[in-house]
Amino acid sequence: MKPFAYVRAGSVEEATDAFAAHPGARYLGGGTNLVDLMKLGVEAPAALVDVTRLPLDAVEELPDGSLQVGATVRNSDLAAHPVVRDRYPALSQALLAGASGQLRNAATTGGNLLQRTRCPYFQDRSKPCNKREPGSGCGALEGVHRDHAVLGHSDQCIATNPSDMAVALAALDARVELTGPDGSRSVPAADFHRLPGMHPERDTEILPGELITGVLLPAATAGLPSAYRKARDRASYAFALASVAVVLDVGDGVVERAGIAFGALAHRPWRARRAEDALIGAAPTTAAFEHALDLELAAAEPLRDNAFKVPLARRIALDVLSRLAPPATT
Partner 1 sequence: MDSRHDRAPDSRTPEPERSQTTLRVNGKPHTLMVDHRRVLLDLLREDLGLTGAKKGCDHGQCGACTVLVDGRRMNGCLLLAVALDGSEITTVEGLAGDGEDLHPLQQAFLDRDAFQCGYCTPGQICSAAGVLAEAAAGHPSHVTDPAAPSGEPVALGREEIRERMSGNLCRCGAYPRIVDAVEDVIP
Q: Which residues bind partner 1 (CB under 8 A)?
A: 1, 3-6, 8, 28, 31-32, 35-36, 38-40, 48, 50, 52, 76, 79-80, 82, 85-86, 89, 92-93, 96-97, 99-103, 105-106, 227, 234-237
Burial class of 31 by CB neighbour count within 10 A (0 to 12, 13 to 18, 19+)? middle
| In the complex, least distance from residue 244 CB atom to partner 1, rounded to whole angstroms | 15
Alpha helices in 12-150 (DSSP H): 12-21, 34-40, 75-80, 82-87, 89-97, 101-106, 109-114
| In the complex, least distance from residue 322 CB atom to partner 1, rounded to whole angstroms | 16
Complex with partner 1: residue 85 or 291, whichever CB lies closer: 85
Is residue 71 within 8 Å of residue 109, measured between CB atoms?
A: yes
| In the complex, least distance from residue 324 CB atom to partner 1, rounded to whole angstroms | 12
Complex with partner 1: residue 28 or 241, whichever CB lies closer: 28
Single-letter amino acid, residue 94: A
Q: List, as one string, the DSSP characters of 253-307.
A: TEEEEEEEEEESSSSS-EE-HHHHHHHBTS---HHHHHHHHHHHHTT----TT-T
**CA–CA separation, 95 and 90 (whole Å):** 9
Sign of CA dihedral 206, 212, 218, 222: positive
**CA–CA separation, 66 and 119 (whole Å):** 35
Complex with partner 1: residue 29 or 152, whichever CB lies closer: 29
| In the complex, least distance from residue 146 CB atom to partner 1, rounded to whole angstroms | 19
Sign of CA dihedral 2, 4, 52, 228: negative
Q: Where are the beta strands (DSSP E) in 167-210?
A: 175-180, 183-188
| In the complex, least distance from residue 133 CB atom to partner 1, rounded to whole angstroms | 21
Complex with partner 1: residue 35 or 318, whichever CB lies closer: 35
| In the complex, least distance from residue 24 CB atom to partner 1, rounded to whole angstroms | 13
The 10 Å Cβ neighbour count of residue 35 is 15
Complex with partner 1: residue 37 or 258, whichever CB lies closer: 37
Distances (CA, A) of 297 to 122, 307, 309: 27, 12, 10
Complex with partner 1: residue 12 or 300, whichever CB lies closer: 12
Complex with partner 1: residue 4 or 308, whichever CB lies closer: 4
| In the complex, least distance from residue 171 CB atom to partner 1, rounded to whole angstroms | 16
